[in-house]
Amino acid sequence: MTRHHLPTLPITERLTAISDHLATDNRLVLSAPPGAGKTTLVPLHLLEQPWRGDGRILLLEPRRLAARAAAARMANLIGESVGATVGYRMRLDNRISAQTRIEVVTEGVFVRMILDDPELSGICAVIFDEFHERSLDADFGLALALDAQSALRPDLKIVVMSATLDVERVTSLLGQMQAVISEGRSFPVEIRYRDRSGDERIEDAVTSVILSALATEAGSILAFLPGQAEIRRVAERLEGRVASDVMVTPLYGNLSQTEQDAAIRPAPEGKRKVVLSTSIAETSITIDGVRVVVDSGLQRLPVHEASTGITRLETVRVSRASADQRAGRAGRTEPGIAIRLWHSGQTAALPGFTPPEILATDLSGLALDMAHWGVSDPTQLALLDQPPAAALNEARQLLIQLGALDRSLQLTARGRQMRDFGLPARLAAMVLAAAATGAAKPAAELAVLLTEQGLGGSNVDLDERLRQFRREGGERAKNARMLASRLVAGLSRGSQAAEASPETAGTLLLHAFPDRIAKRRGGRGRFVMANGRGAELPETERLAGADMLVIADLTGKAAQARILAAAEIDRSQIEESLPGAIQTQDESGFDMASRQVRARRVTRIGAIVLDEIPLPKPKGEAAARALSDGLRSLGLSALPFSKAGEQLRQRLGFLYRLHGPPWPDTSDEGLLARLEDWFIPFQSGVAGLQEISAGSLHDGLMALVPHGLQRELERQAPTHFTAPTGQAHPIRYDGAEPVLQIRVQELFGLRSHPAIGGGKLPLLLELTSPAHRPIQTTRDLPGFWAGSWRDVRADMRGRYPKHPWPDDPASAEPTTRAKPRGT
């Protein structure tokens, strides 16, 4: 084959620059718009390069549909069948031979290839196509390829290309000065906007635009919708409203290969098509005859909650990169039109790129593969975005629970077996556990069923779906069953017990999802899982009446998720399969209604209570801890502090505000955080809030004061001030500074201002009349005597003539009494 056999496309003029670059540099970033021809022409062009020798070129695609389409297109261009020079390899379908030199593989297949053979024996180049989609497998696969190239294969060529690439970040990651850029487009695309009102359903808007385009524009139409449900509803709305020469075909991941291929196949002569697709049709495929694209502007992305293990789908706005990719589908074979269902001004507000999957997905597979690669710190890998630390830690904890990693995060022998399956970690653990009881085959079938959407139908009941899968015809189901057989064949004989009685889906799933054992609560279809989360089924589902389930798949908010796939289970099966899952223990808890500690003997699976028996009221530390739990809910106002205890708390709080530690923080937050230090040890024998004594609270607060400071407490924050009359008056510490309220006559004869802390901290004096009404506030008593006392005296002596109001209070006798009669 020579280059002149290839069609001339926009990328053609850059092929020489690509080969020149790779002749001297083993890394290349290529940016080319949709329709430029990079997916097909670049790999075929690289076949001719002298550095290739007899090595194979790997072209990575994000989806199986794209992989098959790219292989078929390249094979057609060189006049061959798929499986000769150009072939493809994916999980359930391989078309390669000894003569294959371009292998189109899905990104997940490549990750397994390089993990199994880090040297990539026989591979001369790896091309990452449509890298802008930023799948986890693409990011991780590129990091592994760069690592292998640096350490083992310096001759390996690595090419990263996309139509809408974050060129600057990717070139920096690959250590490149610049990218090779193709500016051309096959055909121009006119962008039109049709704003959708807030109350207009997306299905109605898309249907309206499709019908209008069918009436006014020539050619076939490709409409992008967020998901399968919307595709079905648009198809229903179009039924009976389109001409007989118009074919309406869906395109989404759950369809069989035959159905997907039919959707992208050119329309028969004299007909045109309306293809209703998810984002699966954004990249790497050409649907001949399409010249109109209708873009809903929406996509459905998975969001994983590491703390619950739940992945839910969220409908979000597409990125500008995705919108450009979608519009580009209209200009692949002729000038086209892209109709966007939003206002033109909203385009600038769209995010630049779709969020990378590594930031919002289950990372257990990544953690397992990293351990296999010998890397514990992800920063050691050339990842464009680092995985979130919390999500990675949750994933590792799951792998430790499953026995795949040890506490030092090293891969165990069990972990190596699990990784060899190429299954999600939970399902790999299920197959291994089932093999030990002779149930490897049904477990493998169930694992494949759960990882291949659409197999066995859509029934929530996995026992029924498994039965349907075993009867199902079609090439995809047949290949899936063959994959299950290969998984079983790959198990060592020592891992497999003799075949036992048939297992139900529920008993198998127990080993994968012990945290999702669920028990019905309340009405029909409402369940609580062992992890404490709620889950629901429609009341019409058969499983809605089950007492217990194991849930394999669910979506929605963690507080009340919707069950997508589950199997019925009973307690005896749990006890037999997972004897350690059911635990019985004595528990003490605080009863809010009675404000007492209650005890019970509870049998539970995680958060699910199976049985409980009341026990006598507890005493001791367990009861004190239960009381402390109650206090955290009720607050410290529920405690019977005495006046002395309240003052002690205020004194300590004042010193903490003044000096900080080691004086204790006695605010509500501070004391609630240290209940183990001052409350629990002093409540032995107490089982209710009404039994707590004020003295125990006072003693507990004093326990917070370091022994060496207890004498300082009285000096720096005394409880009382002794007036010149000999009377003791309490000092308040509830504000920013200590306050002394006292009748002014009791301070007569005092020439210095009252102070604490060795005379260093003056008290704020609230001076009162004989009737204890405030007359003056001062921080300078001598100044008050010499100054404003004259005005106070003039006012007060008329109101309280029976009490002394001397001209010179600093020299007068202090008193608590009125003047003697007759004076």
Common-topology check for domains 3-181 and 189-358: yes
Residues 6+ apart with CB under 8 A from 126: 57, 58, 60, 110, 120, 145, 156, 157, 158, 159
The SS3 assignment for 608 reads strand
How far apart CA 428 and CA 445 sit, in angstroms, is 12
DSSP class per residue in 655-701: HHHHH-TTS---SHHHHHHTHHHHTGGG-TT--BGGG--HHHHHHHH
Reported confidence tier of residue 4, pLDDT bands at 50, 70, 90: very low
Instruction: Output the pLDDT for position 495.
Output: 61
Q: How far apart are CA 774 and CA 176, in angstroms?
A: 80
CA distance 94 to 536: 40
- pLDDT at site 500: 57
Per-residue pLDDT for 498 more than 60? Answer: no
pLDDT in tens, 44-58: 999 999 999 999 999
CATH 1.20.120.1080 is right for the domain spanning 360-508: yes
Q: Is residue 323 pLDDT above 70, yes or no?
A: yes
For the sheet with 728-732, list strands across it: 720-722, 728-732, 739-743, 764-768, 774-778
Q: For 121-137, what is each residue's pLDDT tens digit?
A: 999 999 999 998 899 99
Question: Which of the 8 DSSP states describes residue 513?
Answer: -
Q: Are 106 and 90 in contact (CB under 8 A)?
A: yes
Q: Rounded CA gap, 626 and 675, in Å? A: 11
Contacts of 422 (CB under 8 A, 6+ apart): 91, 112
* pLDDT per residue as tens digits for the range 69-98: 999 999 999 999 999 999 999 988 899 999
Please report the pLDDT score of residue 822 as a whole number.
54
Quote the percentage of the chain above a pLDDT of 90.
71
Provide the pLDDT for residue 695.
Answer: 94
Interhelix angle 413-421/364-373, rounded to 10 degrees, is 120
Q: Residues 632-641: pLDDT tens digits? A: 999 999 999 9
Bridge partners of residue 764, in order along the sequence: 739
pLDDT tens, position by position, 98-124: 999 999 999 999 999 999 999 999 999
What's the CA gap between 280 and 225, in Å, rounded?
10
pLDDT band at 342 (very low <50, low <70, confident <90, very high): very high
The residue among 30, 35, 10, 23 whose CA lies nearest residue 181 is 30
Token pair, residue 819, equals 């003047």
pLDDT tens per residue across span 249-286: 999 887 877 888 888 888 999 899 999 999 988 876 77
Among all chains, which residue has been given the structure tokens 């608590």? 816
Q: How far is C-alpha 441 from the chain's CA centre?
A: 33
Calpha distance 581→583 (Å, rounded): 6
Q: Which class is 189-358 in CATH?
A: alpha beta
> Do 533 and 310 touch, CB atoms closer than 8 A?
yes
Burial class (CB in 10 A: 0-12, 13-18, 19+), 154: exposed
Tell me the residue ranges of DSSP E strands in 706-818.
720-722, 728-732, 739-743, 755-756, 761-762, 764-768, 774-778
Query: Each residue of 523-550: b (16+ CB within 10 Å) or e?
Result: eebbbbbbbebbbbbeeebebbebebbb
Sign of the CA dihedral running 390, 392, 397, 398: positive
Q: What is the pLDDT of residues 465-479, one digit of tens each?
A: 999 999 998 888 898
Q: Rounded distance, CA 673 to CA 619, Å?
A: 23
Nearest to 800 by CA among 822, 766, 770: 770
233-258 pLDDT tens trace: 999 999 999 999 999 999 988 787 78
| Rounded Cα distance, 37 and 286, in Å | 10
Work out the number of other CB atoms within 10 angstroms of the CB of residue 663.
Answer: 23
Instruction: Tell me which long-range contacts 811-814 makes (C-beta under 8 A, separation of at least 24).
Output: 811/749, 812/748, 812/749, 813/748, 813/749, 814/723, 814/724, 814/725, 814/745, 814/746, 814/747, 814/748, 814/749, 814/750
Q: CA-CA distance, 719 to 729, in Å (whole number)?
A: 8
Rounded CA-CA distance 293/220 in Å is: 9
- Token readout for 397 is 């904890």
CATH of 3-181, one of 3.40.50.300, 3.40.50.2300, 3.20.20.70, 3.30.1330.120: 3.40.50.300
Cα-based torsion angle of the residue sequence 505, 510, 516, 521 in order, rounded to the nearest 10 degrees = 70
Residue boundaries of the structural domains of the chain: 3-181, 189-358, 360-508, 634-716, 720-811
Look at residue 618 in the predicted model and tell me its pLDDT: 82
pLDDT at 497 over 70: no
Q: Rounded to an integer, what distance in angstroms lies between the CA atom of residue 494 and that of residue 280?
A: 42
Cβ-contact 188, 338 below 8 angstroms: no
Do 107 and 137 contact (CB within 8 A), yes or no? Answer: yes
Single-letter amino acid, residue 689: L
pLDDT in tens, 762-809: 999 999 999 999 999 999 999 999 999 999 999 998 899 999 999 999
226: DSSP letter: S
**Which pTM does this prediction carry?**
0.75
